[in-house]
A and B are shown apart, each in its own frame.
Chain A
Amino acid sequence: MANLKDIRRKIKSVKNTQKTTRAMKLVSTAKLRRAEQVAKRSREYALKINEVLSDIAYKINQFKIGGVQGRFFEKNDNPSKVDIIFITADKGLCGGFNVQTIKSVNALMKEYKEKNAKVRLRAVGRKGIEYYKFGGVDLLKAYEGISSSPSYEKAQKIIKEAIDDFAKGVTDKIIIVHNGYKNMITQEIKRVDLTPVEIATDENLKKVSTSMMEVEPEDDESILDELIRKYFEYNMYYALIDSLAAEHSARMQAMDAATNNAKERVRQLTIQYNKARQESITTELIEIISGMEAMK
């Protein structure tokens, strides 16, 4: 039986841990609310820009409009070089949040390796970077300190090289993997294949869109290019903020569970403490009584 002092010390330490985890939970809850709002607002735009692009993709396919941007819309079933951009958190203590992303990145890598495609990794977030560094896997690019405070400019910076490489033909496919926010208690892995731009399959669209697409101003060919860049940047940005919201919700849950565990542990330790106390009192009593008996 552990002595009383030890148990008391243990209880105190567990209680301290509980305080920390509870505080972290509260912080995450507050941050989650904000992150969730930002994510919600931009989801609209992200969906819309994807919709517009896929409409355009449909038209480009339908009317065979060629041009420099053709590569972005072409289907490529056997890519020989794939860029995977994945997002993890900069900090831990958020349950299986980072591990899940890493797992699905590994699965993707395996999938493409089996198809004899080369995979390049662009990592965002310290946890993912550390994991692959430890495993001896080369990362093409590593970005730290972005996951916790994403901005549009930062997203632009990350995706720019990937787009440039793709446009030049260095890579054949760009995929973004992140752990996204589903609701307060669930996260889900999201995988977005940025290229080729998904072609609209909506039957209604086919009926209404009979006319050729005109691009105006006509002399300025960069407009489609610009729109495509925007599409990439925005998807990247959206992935970042979605991931941040998910991170906070994951941390909130993990910390909630930790707080409850600590509570349970304190309860058990208190019982143990009381038992030990009683036992020592009983022993003392027995000693006194037997002492008195001996004196008789």
Chain B
Amino acid sequence: MDTIKLEIVTPHGEIFSKDVKSVTLPGKEGEFGVLPGHAALVSLLKTGIIDIEMPDGKHELVAINWGHVNVEESKVTILAEGAVAVKGESESEIAASLAEAKKLLESASDSDVAIAAATAKIESAAKGL
């Protein structure tokens, strides 16, 4: 078992559903990583970035405002209120989704520190895309 199924859904539809190598989540009490075979867990998620490591080593990013996560040994289900995937074929597409993700983060949290931390993170990660 070297991958784990990750599903991210919002009231507006499914954002992500793939097998991934690992995923880092913005838990309410701090970031935590989930690898395949993780013990079952239910947790709250706060405003932040979900960092997904794909089986080919690439990273994908999804910004969320807040939500719940249900972790099982072979499956991670994230129920988010709002989520934006940062991705795109060209640089302009990436920039557009980045701006959208920032807007979501800003509308969700009123703590400037949290927004700044999250935006800094997506920006630096987006450069690597």
The one of B9, B42, B74 in contact with A44, judged by C-beta atoms closer than 8 angstroms, is B9
How many of chain B's residues have a CB under 8 angstroms from any CB in A?
24
Question: How far in angstroms is the closest Cβ of chain B from A59?
Answer: 7
In the complex, the answer to whether B73 meets A223 with C-beta atoms within 8 Å is no
With A51-B77, A209-B73, A216-B27 given, is the CB distance from A44 to B43 under 8 Å?
no
Q: Categorize the interface residue count of chain A.
A: 20 to 34
The digit string for B1-28, where 1 denotes a CB below 8 A from any CB of A, is 0000001011111100000000000011
Question: How far in angstroms is the closest Cβ of chain A from B125?
Answer: 25
In the complex, the answer to whether B40 meets A217 with C-beta atoms within 8 Å is no
In the complex, the answer to whether A216 meets B10 with C-beta atoms within 8 Å is no
In the complex, the answer to whether B43 meets A215 with C-beta atoms within 8 Å is yes
In the complex, the answer to whether B68 meets A217 with C-beta atoms within 8 Å is no
The digit string for A53-82, where 1 denotes a CB below 8 A from any CB of B, is 001100100000000000000000000000
Question: How far in angstroms is the closest Cβ of chain B from A42?
Answer: 6
Q: Is A4 at the interface (CB under 8 A from chain B)?
A: no
Contacts of A213 in B (CB 8 A): 40-42
In the complex, the answer to whether B42 meets A223 with C-beta atoms within 8 Å is yes
Contacts of B7 in A (CB 8 A): 48
Interface of A is mostly: helix
The one of B9, B29, B73, B74 in contact with A216, judged by C-beta atoms closer than 8 angstroms, is B29
Contacts of A214 in B (CB 8 A): 39-42
In the complex, the answer to whether B40 meets A42 with C-beta atoms within 8 Å is no
Q: Is A290 at the interface (CB under 8 A from chain B)?
A: no
Question: How far in angstroms is the closest Cβ of chain B from A217?
Answer: 5
From 191 to 227 in chain A, residues with beta carbon under 8 angstroms from any chain B beta carbon are: 205, 208-217, 220, 223-224, 226-227
With A209-B72, A217-B29, A230-B68 given, is the CB distance from A48 to B40 under 8 Å?
no
Contacts of A224 in B (CB 8 A): 42
**Closest residue of A by beta carbon distance from B70:** A52
Q: Is A132 at the interface (CB under 8 A from chain B)?
A: no
**Closest residue of A by beta carbon distance from B44:** A223
A208 to B44, CA, bound (A): 22
The digit string for A169-204, where 1 denotes a CB below 8 A from any CB of B, is 000000000000000000000000000000000000
**Closest residue of B by beta carbon distance from A234:** B11
CB-CB nearest 4 A-B residue pairs: A216-B43, A41-B13, A211-B39, A213-B40
Known contacts A45-B13, A216-B42; 13 additional CB pairs below 8 A are A44-B9, A45-B11, A45-B79, A48-B7, A52-B77, A55-B70, A211-B73, A214-B42, A216-B27, A216-B28, A216-B41, A217-B29, A226-B68
Interchain Cβ contacts under 8 Å between A and B, 13 examples: A41-B12, A44-B13, A45-B9, A45-B13, A55-B70, A208-B75, A209-B72, A211-B39, A213-B42, A214-B40, A214-B41, A216-B29, A230-B79
